[in-house]
Amino acid sequence: MQTVFCHEGEKTMDLKRGFGVLVVLLLAVSMFLNSQNISFGDIFSNDTPVTLDGVQILEYEGKDLTSILNLRDNSISGPPEIDTVSYTLNINGLVGQELSFTYDELRTRFNPYTKVVTLHCVEGWDATMLWEGVLFKDIAGMAGIKGEADTVIFHALDGYTTALSLDYLISNNIMLAYKLNGVTLPAKYGFPLQLVAESKWGYKWIKWVSQIEFSDDENYLGTWERQGYSNDADLNKGFFD
Quick one: which segment of 97-105, 114-122, 169-177, 214-222 binds Mo ion (CB under 5 A)? 114-122
Q: Which of residues 59-98 bind Mo ion (CB under 5 A)?
A: 74
CB of 241 to ligand MTE, least distance (A): 17
Strands in the chain per DSSP E: 2-6, 9-13, 59-60, 63-64, 88-93, 99-102, 113-120, 126-135, 151-156, 161-165, 175-180, 183-184, 194-196, 209-215
Kindly state whether residue 121 participates in binding Mo ion, applying the rule CB under 5 A. yes
Kindly report the CA angle at 92 between 131 and 145, in degrees rounded to 5?
A: 80
Helices (H) and strands (E) in the chain, counts: 5, 14
CB of 208 to ligand MTE, least distance (A): 5
118 binds, among Mo ion, ligand MTE, none (CB under 5 to 8 A by kind): none
Q: Which CB atom, from 160 or from 203, has the smaller least distance to Mo ion?
A: 203
Contacts with ligand MTE, residue ranges (CB under 6 A) = 71-76, 119, 121, 127, 156, 158, 160, 189-190, 202-203, 205-208
158 binds, among ligand MTE, Mo ion, none (CB under 5 to 8 A by kind): ligand MTE
Which distant-in-sequence residues (6+ apart) come within 8 Å of 45 by Cβ? Answer: none
- Nearest residue (beta carbon) to ligand MTE: 202
What's the rounded Cα separation, in Å, for the pair 168 and 174?
Answer: 8
Which residues contact Mo ion by CB under 5 A? 74, 121, 202-203
